[in-house]
Structures are given as C-alpha cells and as structure tokens.
C-alpha cells in the first residue's frame, strides 16, 4: 500500500462516518453531541488533506501552518464539546475557543517571528498534546453509576493520540538539539503517522457510535424499571435490584429485611382533593421513604398504586422495625403539602425478615404483605411484623402513632376501603 492510497483510505473512512454522524445529528437525545462530532470529523479530514498535500511538509509556511493547526485544534475542540454535551456537562465557550485557536496561533506567530521550523513545531505539538488530553478527559470521568464500555474505548483511542504527539515531540527535540541529524520526517514517517491516525480515528468514531447505542439501551432500561411519577424503581426495577441485594447478602450471610408500606385511605385523598393532590402525596411519601434508605445498599421502590416496598440489606428484623416506626411517625406527624392545603396522612407498614436459610425475596414479600394487611385490620397507622417473628407480639410495633399537628383528612368510617 502506497502513501496516496493510505491517505485516500483515511479521508474516505472519515467521509463514511460523516454521513452516519450527520444522520445521527438530525434527531435524538444525542443529536447536539453528534453535530459537534460531525464538525470534528470534517475538520480532521480537511486537515489531513492540507497536511500531507503540502509540498513544504512538515515545515509549513506561517499562514498555511496557522490554518492547518487551527483546523486540527477546532477538530479537537469539537470532540471535547461533543463529549461534554453527551455526558450532560457544561461546554465552556472560553475553553472551546482556546483549544481550537491556540495551536494555529502559536505556529503562525512563532514562524512569523523567525523561529526555527522545528521549534515552531515543538511548541505547536505541545499545545496539541494538551488539547488532545483535554478532549479525552470527559470520556474518563464517570457520571452514571458505571462507565459505558464504549466510553472508555473512545477515551483510550483519543489518549493514544496524545501519546503519539509526545513521541513526535521527542523526535523533534532530538532534531532541534542536533543529537541525531539523521532523524527526520521522511516518507516512512508520514506512512506511520497516517497508519496510526487511521487506526485511532476508526476506534474513536466507532466508539462514539457505540456510546450512543449503549446509552440509548441504558436509558430504555431505566424507563422500563423506573416509576415516572416518583422517580423510584417500579415493581420490575425493585425485583431486579432486590435479587442482586438479597443474593449478595445471602452469600455474605448478612441479614436482609423487607418492609411494605401502604398509604392509609389514599382513595379518599384522590376522591376528595383530586388526583393531582394524590400524586403530590405519592411523590412526597416516596421522597421520605427514600430518605430512610441507604443509597447503594437498600432498594426502595413503588410496588404498585399507593404501596411501596423497601429491601434493607444488612438489617435485622429489629433494625427494620425501627426504620419502619420512624417512617410511620414522621409521616403522621409531618403534614403533606397539597397546594394551599396541609394534609395529615398516615401509613401502615408490614415488616418481614429474609433469613439466610432459603427464605427468599418472594416469600419475604408475601410475609410482609400479610403483616401489612394485619396492620390495616388492626386500625392502620402502625407497624406490624410477619407471623412467627420475635416482634410479633411486641406492643411497641403495634402501637399506633397519633398525629400531634396538622389537619387530618375528614374521612368517614365507610371510606376505610382505601
């Protein structure tokens, strides 16, 4: 393969990706990021043609060199900006402009001032190395619970450009200090540079496409496992997360407890104050329930309707009852805001322990559900444990909490079906 063929292949490969990226930039959650990345590919393709089509390569004339390195710098700025947008971070205009303009300015100004071509190249390569490292950085910063695999691929490919630029700086320094005059930029150097560029660019662009697909799959899974009203996990999400928690706790021989909470007379809230008020109560209760859980350890979600479930890892039955009692007390004593109203709401909670002897999640949920309905039949606004537990007859767990302030919802006895 000769040099012209390799250059043609590099430009054509970019042309193909430009078409794909232009389509992706028309519509979708990542459209804005793909607009930046399309501009980046276009800039790199133009830069390649200008660099290796220049008869003075690698010692460009001041104006032409400033143009070439300005285009390359803007290409790197667009990669960085696209990564920032894709990962929901802020694009700072000052940083964007500096990354794009400085390499060209440095080359053009140093050459115009009469600096040696190698010195001008060395200073320009140093700025390009910094810009490339900055372009790679967004892809190494984790924002989601875990990295996207393709995110690391893109970051690694761009980082390799920085390594290649550092190697070029070393060679230029050797030439500059006349340590080895035989080292130059001949035909073989151009061939190697084009080969590395094509390899890394393909990895980068394929990685960017894979990133968008992987992110879309993750968001679809989040939508499928998240309750849109409260933002907590829905029934499916709770089951998926709870199996992981219970499995890990079982292997580590740690206790796990389950509690099911049901808002008392919730149907009456909807009937009297409307579904908008009911939704506000659900969202506020979800927030309070989540506040009693430990992020990364406990699973909290909406089980269905006005019923919520929490799986508490490394918590004994006594610990879980304590959590449930604090939640029950807080709910009854702190009114819920609904427009200009302050509603007193109560909750009934059933608690069960998932022991490490084969007492699995489904069985624990069933036991907690039975305890919940016992709490409902016993007068509501209380915590009850599953039958056969150590706390079954404990008067504290069956003691209702009386609200001390707020304005209770005037519900008739016939409305207890809620």
Copy the structure tokens of residue 388: 């056969």
**Three state DSSP letters for 101-156:** HHHHHHHHHHHHCCCCHHHHHHHHHHHHHHHHHHHHHHHHCCCCCCCCHHHHHHHH
Rounded CA-CA distance 321/327 in Å is 10
Strands (E), 86-164: none
Q: What is the mean pLDDT of each run of 10 residues along the chain (418 residues)?
A: 68 85 89 94 88 82 93 94 92 94 94 89 91 92 74 91 87 72 49 70 90 88 90 90 79 86 93 92 95 89 93 90 94 90 92 68 87 92 74 37 35 33
**Of residues 194, 287, 164, the one with CA closest to residue 2:** 194
- The residues, ordered by sequence, that sit 6+ positions from 221 with a Cβ below 8 Å of its Cβ are none
CA dihedral 43, 47, 53, 55 (to 10 degrees): 150
Rounded CA-CA distance 392/390 in Å is 6
Dihedral of alpha carbons 113, 114, 117, 123, sign: negative
3-state secondary structure of 350: strand
Copy the structure tokens of residue 116: 């040696």
Rounded CA-CA distance 322/105 in Å is 66
Rounded CA-CA distance 310/322 in Å is 13
| Number of Cβ within a 10 Å radius of residue 373 | 14
Note the pLDDT of residue 39: 95
Token pair 């060395």 is found at: 122
Kindly list the structural domains of the chain, giving each domain's residue range(s) and its CATH number in brackets, ordered by start. 3-223 (1.20.1070), 235-415 (3.30.70.270)
Strands 341-344 and 407-408: parallel
- The residues, ordered by sequence, that sit 6+ positions from 416 with a Cβ below 8 Å of its Cβ are 265, 380
pLDDT, one tens digit per residue, over 1-31 is 566 676 777 778 888 889 999 999 998 889 9
pTM over 0.85: no
Rounded CA-CA distance 236/155 in Å is 34
Q: Is residue 400 within 8 Å of 326, Cβ to Cβ?
A: no
């Amino acid at each position: 393969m000769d040099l012209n063929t390799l250059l043609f292949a590099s430009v054509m490969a970019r042309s193909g990706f430009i078409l794909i990226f232009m389509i992706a930039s028309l519509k979708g959650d990542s459209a804005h990021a793909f607009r930046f990345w399309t501009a980046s590919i276009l800039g790199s393709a133009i830069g390649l043609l200008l660099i290796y089509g220049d008869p003075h390569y690698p010692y460009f004339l001041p104006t032409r060199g400033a143009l070439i390195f300005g285009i390359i710098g803007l290409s790197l700025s667009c990669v960085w900006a696209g990564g920032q947008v894709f990962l929901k971070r802020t694009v700072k205009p000052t940083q964007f402009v500096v990354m794009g303009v400085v390499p060209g300015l440095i080359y053009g100004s140093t050459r115009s001032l009469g600096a040696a071509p190698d010195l001008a190249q060395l200073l320009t390569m140093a700025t390009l190395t910094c810009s490339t490292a900055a372009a790679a950085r967004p892809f190494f910063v984790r924002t989601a619970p875990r990295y996207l695999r393709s995110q690391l691929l893109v970051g690694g490919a761009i980082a390799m450009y920085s390594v290649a630029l550092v190697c070029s700086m070393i060679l230029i320094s050797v030439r500059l200090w006349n340590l080895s005059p035989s080292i130059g930029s001949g035909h073989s150097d151009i061939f190697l540079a084009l080969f590395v560029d094509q390899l890394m660019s393909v990895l980068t662009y394929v990685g960017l496409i894979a990133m968008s697909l992987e992110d879309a799959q993750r968001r679809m899974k989040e939508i499928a496992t998240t309750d849109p009203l409260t933002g907590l996990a829905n029934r499916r999400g709770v089951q998926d997360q709870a199996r992981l928690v219970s499995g890990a706790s079982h292997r580590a021989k740690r206790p796990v407890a389950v509690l099911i909470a049901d808002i008392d007379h919730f149907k009456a809230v909807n009937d009297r104050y409307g579904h908008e008020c009911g939704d506000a109560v659900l969202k506020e209760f979800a927030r309070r329930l989540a506040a009693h859980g430990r992020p990364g350890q406990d699973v909290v979600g909406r089980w269905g309707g006005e019923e919520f479930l929490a799986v508490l890892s490394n918590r004994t039955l006594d610990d879980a009852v304590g959590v449930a009692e604090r939640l029950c007390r807080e709910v009854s004593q702190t009114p819920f805001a609904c427009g200009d109203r302050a509603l007193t709401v109560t909750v009934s909670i059933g608690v069960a322990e998932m022991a490490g002897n084969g007492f699995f999640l489904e069985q624990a949920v069933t036991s907690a559900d039975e305890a919940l309905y016992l709490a409902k039949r016993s007068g509501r606004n209380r915590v009850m444990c599953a039958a056969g537990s150590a706390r079954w007859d404990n008067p504290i767990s069956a003691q209702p909490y009386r609200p001390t302030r707020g304005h209770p919802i005037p519900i008739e006895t016939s409305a207890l079906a809620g």
